[in-house]
Amino acid sequence: MKIYCKYLLFLVMMFYAFIITDISYSQLIIIEEIEVAYTDTKSFDEDILISALGLNESDVYKSQVLGENIYKLQKFYFDNGYFDAEIDTNVRYDLLEEEAFIKIIVTENRRYRIDSLIFTGLDKVEGNTGRLMRKINRIKSKDHYNKSLIMQQTNEIIDLLQNNGYMNARLKQDSGTVVKKYEDFSEPLLTVIINFEGADSIFYFGKTNISITNNKYGVESGLLRKEIAYNEGNIYSKKIKLLSETNMSKFPIVQSARISPYEVNNGKVDFHAEIILNKKTEIGPYAASVVIDNIFYIGGGVQYINKYFDKSGKILTLSFDGLINSFDINRIEFSAAITQPHVFNTNSYLTDKVTVGLYNIEDSKNYYIGNITSYLQTFTDFTFYNNASVDLTEDLLRFTYDTATGPAITTFNSLLSTTFVHDNTNDVFSPSKGFFHSITVGSGGLLPKLIINTFEPNVYYSQYFKLFTSNNFYFNLSKKPGNTVFATKFLVGDIIQYGSGDRLIPLPSFYKFFSGGSSSVRGWGARDNGVLENTNDGGDFLLEGSLELRNKLFPGADNFTENISTAVFFDYGNVWAADNDFRLDQIALAVGFGVRYNLFVGPVRVDFGFKLYDPGTAGNKWLFNDFANIFKNRFVVHFGIGEAF
């Protein structure tokens, strides 16, 4: 009878285990709460520990993943000097609500301090390199043990050595970092010994041989040799070697460039540069979405690229595309561009682009022939501005209006401008951190005045100065980058027209500022906002800005919902006929919200904008006083690809 009871008890336990296992596998348990409890001291905030844990509320709960992440938390404490820390967990389930509540129980115990930090293998490092090395002092005696700071100091020393001739300097492979604990002291102490090797000889650059794998396009090695940033006899520097590889790789025809040592003679190192090429030509279709003069277009085209147009490394680009907003607003364009990289140095580029286009904008057809010559110079990381460009544009435009609007007119205009750009944002499509700033100053009409007054064709031109600045700020507000982002922008533009003459006309709308649209003040449609007789004509003075809070709805999801996010925004601004027409009470205000779905091309978005304050209305300017008409003349829906800014 006892044997049968044992078997029965065993079967009941197996059945219970099966039920529990079946529940755990059939139900999707979501982490509802993560709590941290401390049994003794508390050295780190709960947010820091949860971030180190690598789990988030709303994640799917998996016991195996929790176990792996507890190890990460244990390692976090170990790397910060808590060698005796103990981590325990308590998980409570609510199977009806399909939720898990995780409690992390932390016993920190003692934190070790560094009694002494010893470096070995650096005795032969002398001169200026030795003095600079001794100034690297990220961690000091009696500081708490911190693996990150020790690694940072070690890497800085190795970089300094390898950039000053000590090519073979590195940590010892078998005993790079040794930690010795002293248990018999009242205060827990340890000694950290960092063992280096290879820091006993200085090397110099020798000859560099260049080989191009499968050079079927006849790429000349002399073109690439110009990009080597060192000379034979210079002291070896890993940084300069890597810079040389980067310089070579900037040519589009080069897929990769790797410079490796292959022979050493009396301290001189000969190098071998192995170059692997890309395909010379590419042709294919592409899709495009863009905002031009506040109008959102979508379309595509076909593009041909020749990455090695001639022996100087020029790039030829031919493209034909069509863009559409509506049947009345669309564009067809063909362009040909030649880019010369490395004009004066490795960070300079010269591009000349010719464009022929037909632009339909409601009541006019614009036949366009234009050329832009652009010189771009990028700067080092130590300067505020990342790059600067000088652009010269020449535009021949023929405006053909409907008979009710006006006669056809042909204009020739040019603009010589300089633009400075600072950009330290962390993502091209959806920035969550950083600052973008650009400023452009230009003068228009000088070249047409000379040509038209000399040859007197039946062509008109305009003279003006143009100033424009754009400023975008991005702040990450969440533990995980990109989950919650606050973004703001501020734009100011001013066009100052001047001069008189028989062929001088007011600046056409083609060159002016507009307000309203999916990337502007979103309570208004494209080019619908403005203190102007006709907002489609544009204005000479623009002031505009936005405040936007972006938030991912399901940051911990592992399916399509992880790409869904929302935004709420407040936009302000307007455009005036001239800067002296500006009035503070004429700044339009808009509020709204939007939904985004993130794709590889950036977020596809829908925004719902409301006119909060409409200075162009004779009656109720504020939305509060005209709430009954909120979905009539105070509401706009916008579509776009990419963030509004």
208 DSSP β-pair partners: 271
Q: Which residues, in sequence order, are CB contacts of 476 under 8 Å at separation 6+?
A: 432, 433, 482, 484, 485
Report the alpha-carbon distance of residue 306 to residue 319 in Å, rounded: 12
Report the alpha-carbon distance of residue 444 to residue 48 in Å, rounded: 55
User: Own/partner pairs for 368-371, CB < 8 Å, 24+ apart?
Assistant: 368/395, 368/396, 368/397, 369/395, 369/396, 370/394, 370/395, 370/396
Whether the CA torsion 117, 118, 121, 126 is positive or negative: it is positive
For 333, other C-beta atoms within 10 Å of its C-beta total: 18
- Reference 389, options 334, 336, 353, 351; nearest CA is 351
- Reference 277, options 221, 193, 349; nearest CA is 221
331 neighbors 307 (Cβ within 8 angstroms): no
Report the alpha-carbon distance of residue 35 to residue 31 in Å, rounded: 11
Q: Please state which architecture CATH assigns to domain 113-197.
A: Roll (3.10)
Report the alpha-carbon distance of residue 225 to residue 243 in Å, rounded: 13
φ/ψ of 72, rounded to 5, equals -60, -40
User: What pLDDT is recorded for position 152?
Assistant: 92
Report the alpha-carbon distance of residue 644 to residue 642 in Å, rounded: 7
The residue ranges of every structural domain in the chain are: 2-107, 113-197, 204-277
φ/ψ of 370, rounded to 5, equals -145, 160
401 DSSP β-pair partners: 364
What does the block give as tokens for 611? 């006119």
Alpha helices in 417-515 (DSSP H): 446-455
User: What pLDDT is recorded for position 473?
Assistant: 97
User: What pLDDT is recorded for position 184?
Assistant: 65
For 6, other C-beta atoms within 10 Å of its C-beta total: 10
Terminal C-alpha separation, the chain? 79
513 neighbors 470 (Cβ within 8 angstroms): no
Number of helices (H), then strands (E), in the chain: 8, 26
For 377, other C-beta atoms within 10 Å of its C-beta total: 15
- Torsion of Cα atoms, 30 then 35 then 39 then 45, to 10°: 130
For 220, other C-beta atoms within 10 Å of its C-beta total: 14
For 289, other C-beta atoms within 10 Å of its C-beta total: 17
pLDDT tens profile 359-388: 998 778 889 999 999 999 999 878 899 999
Domain spanning 204-277, CATH class: alpha beta
User: What pLDDT is recorded for position 406?
Assistant: 60
Whether the CA torsion 295, 298, 302, 303 is positive or negative: it is positive
Amino acid, single-letter form, for residue 370: G
User: Own/partner pairs for 105-108, CB < 8 Å, 24+ apart?
Assistant: 105/37, 105/39, 106/36, 106/37, 106/38, 106/39, 106/49, 106/77, 107/38, 107/39, 107/40, 108/38, 108/40, 108/41, 108/42, 108/43, 108/77, 108/82
SS3 category, 569: strand
Amino acid, single-letter form, for residue 82: Y
SS3 breakdown of the chain: % helix, strand, coil, rounded to 5?
20, 45, 35
Q: Distances in Å between the alpha carbon of 162 and those of 33, 175, 198, 205? A: 48, 20, 10, 13
- Reference 587, options 569, 609, 614, 611; nearest CA is 614
245 neighbors 335 (Cβ within 8 angstroms): no
- Reference 349, options 381, 318, 320, 317; nearest CA is 317
Q: Please state which architecture CATH assigns to domain 2-107.
A: Roll (3.10)
- pLDDT under 50: residue ranges of the chain: 1-5, 7, 9-10, 12-26, 403
User: What pLDDT is recorded for position 18?
Assistant: 42
pLDDT tens profile 176-224: 888 888 866 678 899 999 999 999 999 999 999 999 999 999 999 999 9
Amino acid, single-letter form, for residue 508: P
